[in-house]
Amino acid sequence: MSHDNISDDKLPEAHDASEGHGHLAVADDPFADPGLPAHEPRRTDIDERAAKRAERQVSGMFILSMLATVGFIASYASINPDKLVYIFPLGHVSALNFALGMTLAVALFCIGAGAVHWARTLMSDVEMPAERHPIEADDEVRADVIQQFKTGAAESGFGRRKMIRNTLIGSMAMVPLSGVVLLRDLGPLPEKKLDSTDWSEATPSAPIRLVNMNTDEPMKAEDIVVGSLTFAKPGPSALRPNGLQDSDEDFQEAIAKDALMLIRIQPEDLKDEKSAALGFEGVLCYSKICTHVGCPISLYEQQTHHALCPCHQSTFDLSDGARVIFGPAGHPLPQLKISTDSDGYLVATQDFTVPVGPSFWERSA
Amino acid sequence: MSSSTSTKQTAPASTRAKPANKGEAAADWVDGRLGIYSLAKANLRKIFPDHWSFMLGEICLYTFVIIILTGVYLTLFFKPSMGEVVYNGSYAPLNGIRMSEAYESTLNISFEVRGGLLIRQIHHWAAIVFVAAMFVHMMRVFFTGAFRKPREINWVFGFLLLCLGFFDGFMGYSLPDDLLSGTGIRFMEGAVLAVPLVGTYIQMFLFGGPFPGTDVIPRFFTIHVLLIPGIMLGLLVAHLILVFYHKHTQWAGPGKTEQNVVGMPLMPVYMAKAGGFFFLVFGIIAAMSAIASVNPVWAYGPYRPDQVSTDAQPDWYMGFAEGLIRVMPGWEIRAWGHTLNLGVFIPLMLFPLVLALIALYPFIEGWITGDKREHHILDRPRNAPVRTGLGAAWIALYLVLLLGGGNDLVATHFHLSLNDITYFVRAGSFVIPIIVFYVTKRWCLGLQRRDRDKVLHGRETGVIKRLPHGEFIEIHAQLPQGRLHTLTSHEQPEPLELPAEVDENGVARKVGLLTKTRAKLSAGYFGEGGQIPKPTVEEHQEITSGHGHH
Ligand code: FES
């Protein structure tokens, strides 16, 4: 690993310190450095009228900036935030936003343009060299510092008193642990939280109805037409007497796992018997949450029975147990076993048999 | 209070001459406390070289300042809370809808606070320009070799700033709690869950319970406005101090050496130019924000985990990660009651790995060349063909993955099959960088050859001459000496040679694998195919001294 086996003669010659700036070209070396070119004056350097013009231009820009700031304040005070204006080719935009933005832009831009113009036309543009010094210290300084450090280290006794040294290192290594431990209350432990959904409340004796996401009504199998995609959520249960409602405190967490999609497929199109058996008269009920990283699935192609997740395009064949046929998802969508209650409404009598949503280490199925 | 005065010693009184005016007097006062004269002595007329590409870093700095200024304004109105409210405000389409206070306050900033929309837009646009400028600035530094000793550490600081910029941008994007940003957070949750062993624990601790919970927005807010910007500010200051300390790099040219820096002084020219440039950047971003709407969150609606908007896409700088995640096949390993989600975990690991390679590049190249000298003169990209090729290949990989990250948009805009694009990206992320590497390298060698011709044969004048025997030739003009110097002053290292198999005593020498690898790499960089020998003085003289010279 050492660099020592690289001899310096493998590298091109380092520049000679004497070479460079200010030297006349060496007659027999056409490639030698001729030194800094002479300064060429600008128009404004020699023509006082041009200089005066540049001065007026710079001030003009600063004045324009002042006017624009006045315009900004006036727009702020006078334009109604709701007002829309038509501006070609942008279409209808907020008048206030446009006026404030443009006046602010002019106010800022003109200061910048003025300053740059000033620097370019009126300030000196003579290039000059400044020397660089090596970043590395010379050997003398280096030796001195190392000696001083050694003295300091010896005086501390750090190397000699091994017990102090080792216990100091130990205590320094341990002390950040308190910080890590303090983070523990950021959240609960995972336990089984990812494994079950609200549908686990459903039992054969206390089934939960599937409720239409849009109408809040329970559904019958005949409500689901072939080729349509219907979204559903849990109806009333012992835990939630009104079913899952937007106003529930934990609505977001619940719907992130409970959301369902229902489709109806002609029995002859069903390719997977086990999946068909979980449905009811061709109505199949799958988790709406993609098994990739958890986006809700929303696109359904009725001819092919393919459902597509818009996030990373995982595609599931709903007629074949929601098998993944394309994209980055690693396993099928969980299916919910459905049946009907005595009134003929679709119900669930048990939870999904596998966890919904993205995979995780403890997931066993 | 002691009143003893017997042994009182007074500090020596200032012997300074009387200040000429009020300004000098004030400066003297400050100097007596802060020592500003000594500080200013070295820096007031510090020389900065001039080149348009040196402005890229300035754009990063200025957009960062703009982001902080507008960010502070936004925090005055934004409520980082997931408390639920029913919206009742001036954006009629969302009236009566349940949403978080975070989303509601974002709507209020956009519709009720006068100028709030503008500041939000400036904040977002500046963030986009910031990341883009850091990216281009980094490429400038890469392709010109400005990262070489003594600047390796500053390269790493810059790299960290880029990564933190990515990350803070993602966090900021998540805060409004609209449908699109919530989808981004969901993505993050899925990615965290894919981490083996501890994934579920990190998820619970990050979200304060199951997804989405009510903690994540306030937490992201603190990270977005305090933690990451704080770290970035520290890194940025360190970055600038190092730029000052190292002095700026410069292009090769007459009068420019490794021992000097040629340019104009900080005061007044550079101060006016750089200071003015801040206002130019700010002005342009303000104009962009007045004209072009970015992230219209009101159009997406509040986040709900069972809904999604189409075009679910992150900001472009996360497109690289998005592409990785989209084109990865869904591999999952299930064994012993556990699931290893490789389909998400591999992209999650590749993303930092590809970035880390860039971070380590100065050290890798330094190891291969074994070059321990300081470099202040920039390389023209063509004179370092392998490095230029690697940089281009990296960008190509980035772009291919970006294409994968927007496969749905590409599919709908160009009427292509989404699946085909994905297959193309899968293969392309391996093949295209390699092709780009070779093409770029050859291109550089071609340019080197052209430089060589120019030096030896002069520049084409466009004047055609007919020789007595009827042949037409174009007259070439000798380049001025300054140009000749510029085109020939670059270095051409020789590849590292392995020590002989047996040493001078005939004893077999052990050559380690590492040394062999290094020799191979070095041959790739500087061997026959790695560079075109630059013209020598003898060649030049032979041609210019008579025969064959037009
Ligand atoms: S979340 Fe559905 S494909 Fe990624």
Interface touch A311/B341, C-beta < 8 Å: no
Residue B223 is given by DSSP the state I
Ligand 1 center to A68 CA (angstroms)? 48
Question: Which A residues, 161 through 220, put their C-beta within 8 Å of a C-beta on chain B?
Answer: 183-184, 186-190, 193-194, 213
Q: Are A284 and A262 in contact (CB under 8 A)?
A: yes
Interface touch B211/A294, C-beta < 8 Å: yes
Residue A14: pLDDT above 70?
no
Alpha helix segments (H runs only) across B96-178: 101-111, 116-143, 152-174
CA distance B163 to chain A (A): 23
Residue A269 is given by DSSP the state G
What number is the average pLDDT over the span A58-66?
A: 97
Residue of A125, A195, A293, A325 to mutate when probing chain B, most B C-beta within 10 A: A293
CA dihedral A301, A306, A311, A314 (to 10 degrees): -160
Interface touch A115/B419, C-beta < 8 Å: no
Query: Quick one: CA dihedral B341, B346, B349, B351, positive or negative?
Result: negative
Interface touch A10/B117, C-beta < 8 Å: no
Residues 6+ apart with CB under 8 A from A56: none
- Rounded Cα gap, residues B476 and B127, in angstroms: 50
What number is the average pLDDT over the span A290-309?
A: 90
With beta carbons under 8 A apart, name residues in chain A contacting B118: 97, 100-101, 104
Tell me the average pLDDT of chain A.
Answer: 88
Question: CB neighbours (10 Å) of residue B533?
Answer: 10
Match 């409210």 to its residue by tokens.
B85
Size of interface A-B (CB pairs under 8 A): 392
For A200-244, the pLDDT digits (tens) are 989 999 999 999 998 999 999 888 888 888 999 999 998 888 889
Which helix (H) or strand (E) element contains residue B476?
strand B472-477
pLDDT band of residue A22 (cuts 50, 70, 90) is very low
Query: Which pLDDT score, from 0 to 100, does residue B7 have?
Result: 57
- Rounded Cα gap, residues B58 and B43, in angstroms: 18
Q: Compare CB distances from B332 to A21, A314, A330 and report the shortest one's residue.
A: A330
Interface touch B273/A115, C-beta < 8 Å: yes
Ligand 1 center to B219 CA (angstroms)? 25
CA distance B273 to chain A (A): 5
Query: In this structure, are strands A299-301 and A306-308 parallel, antiparallel, or unpaired?
Result: antiparallel
pTM recorded for the entire structure: 0.90
Q: Which of A96-105, A296-305, B365-374 has the highest mean pLDDT?
A: A96-105
Query: Quick one: CA dihedral B258, B263, B268, B274, positive or negative?
Result: negative
Query: Which pLDDT score, from 0 to 100, does residue B310 have?
Result: 65
Query: Which pLDDT score, from 0 to 100, does residue A247 have?
Result: 86
Interface touch A361/B370, C-beta < 8 Å: no
What number is the average pLDDT over the span A104-131?
A: 93
Residue A283: pLDDT above 80?
yes
Q: Please indicate whether residue A327, judged by its CB atom, sits closer than 6 Å to ligand 1.
A: yes
Q: Please indicate whether residue A311, judged by its CB atom, sits closer than 6 Å to ligand 1.
A: yes
Residues 6+ apart with CB under 8 A from B4: none
pLDDT band of residue A73 (cuts 50, 70, 90) is very high
Q: Please indicate whether residue A288, judged by its CB atom, sits closer than 6 Å to ligand 1.
A: no
Residue A349 is given by DSSP the state -
What number is the average pLDDT over the span A5-12?
A: 49
Ligand 1 center to B338 CA (angstroms)? 21
Each residue's pLDDT expressed in tens, for chain B with a length of 550 residues:
445 555 566 666 677 888 888 999 999 999 999 989 988 887 888 888 988 999 999 999 999 999 999 999 999 999 999 999 999 998 999 999 999 999 999 999 999 999 999 999 999 999 999 999 999 999 999 999 999 999 999 999 999 999 999 999 999 999 999 998 898 899 999 999 999 999 999 999 999 999 988 999 999 999 999 999 999 999 999 999 999 899 999 999 988 988 899 998 888 888 999 999 999 999 999 999 999 888 889 988 999 888 887 666 778 888 888 889 888 888 888 888 889 898 899 999 988 898 899 999 999 999 988 888 999 999 999 999 999 999 999 999 999 999 888 888 888 888 888 888 999 999 999 999 999 999 999 999 999 999 998 888 888 888 888 889 888 888 888 888 888 888 988 888 888 887 777 777 777 777 788 888 888 888 888 888 888 888 888 888 887 775 544 4
Q: Please indicate whether residue A308, judged by its CB atom, sits closer than 6 Å to ligand 1.
A: no
